[in-house]
Amino acid sequence: MKFGLFGINTGPCAAPPIAAAVARAAENSGFESVWTGEHIVLPDPQVPPSPVPAHAPFIDTAVSLAYVAAHTSKLRLGTGIIILPQRNPVVLAKELASVDVVSGGRLIFGIGIGYLKPEFEAIGAPFEHKGPRTEEYLAAMIALWTMDKPAYRGRFVNFSGVNAMPRPVQKPHPEIVFGGGTKSAYSRAARLARGWYGFAMDVDTAAKSIEGLRSACKKAERRFEELEVSVTPRGRMDLDIAKRFAELGVHRLILTHRGRTEQEIVGFVSQAGRELVGKA
């Protein structure tokens, strides 16, 4: 079992010195990765289904991971997740390739399609066709990362006669993870990604998602065992619960903290290192 830490760019970790201290503590405690969250804007006032108040800080994902990379040496850096249909894929390909370069090849590219319509409207991104747009944007980014002469022609994005350097350190490109708890999300993970990420799940909920992933893999003619499953657990976490997740086929637990200060978060990370990391 691998262990990650969620929220390296938000809450108290939106303060750069705290993010650096927490990332170093995670690396020293044996964590494999740290993960960002993303909302470019939030509805104000907060209305469902917005998950957090409008004043909640989110440091930009690429900026945050590049900063954390400079304060660590081996910790993997996950986007958990980037809302891809809100982004320009050509610009994002440059940003994430740059993160992979400055980190020495440590980026994990986690993707979601988004669900907050006011966020899409503020950005000027269409809320319709989020799934097809996401798949096409990803294909365009991979073209920029892997083709000698990058070119892509699709419904939503077109380019040729261009290049974008530097390329990512990881070959053929950074690891791709899809998030989401729908049949479409499972399908995208099975067809297009190295892994899948489920957020705020207990063991029973994760079990249902894993069944969905198994079905999607079967339909895609892919072995389920090839898919790396990551979950952020909901509620209490101990070694017995971690082992139950592992028995389901979960490969990575991405823990959340409830700390309000650097001391509290570092304490949580250190305790998890002693009690969970390396034992599950």
Within a domain: residue 29?
yes
- Tell me how many degrees the CA angle 158-105-39 measures, rounded to the nearest 5: 60
- CA-to-CA distance for 134 and 112, rounded, in angstroms? 8
> For residue 132, is the peptide bond before it cis, meaning its omega torsion is within 30 degrees of 0?
no
pLDDT score of 71: 98
Q: Report the CATH number at residue 189.
A: 3.20.20.30
Q: What does the pLDDT look like over 97-132, one tens digit per residue?
A: 999 999 999 999 999 999 999 999 999 999 999 999
Within a domain: residue 230?
yes
Within a domain: residue 21?
yes
- CA-to-CA distance for 186 and 213, rounded, in angstroms? 5
Domain interval for residue 180: 2-275
- Spell 107-129 as b/e; 16+ CB within 10 A means b: bbbbbbbbebeebbeeeebeeee
- CA-to-CA distance for 258 and 210, rounded, in angstroms? 27
H/E segment holding residue 159: strand 158-159
Within a domain: residue 192?
yes
Within a domain: residue 202?
yes
Within a domain: residue 210?
yes
Task: State the total domains in the chain.
Answer: 1
Within a domain: residue 280?
no
pLDDT score of 280: 81
Q: With a cut of 70, list the residues of the chain below it in pLDDT.
A: none
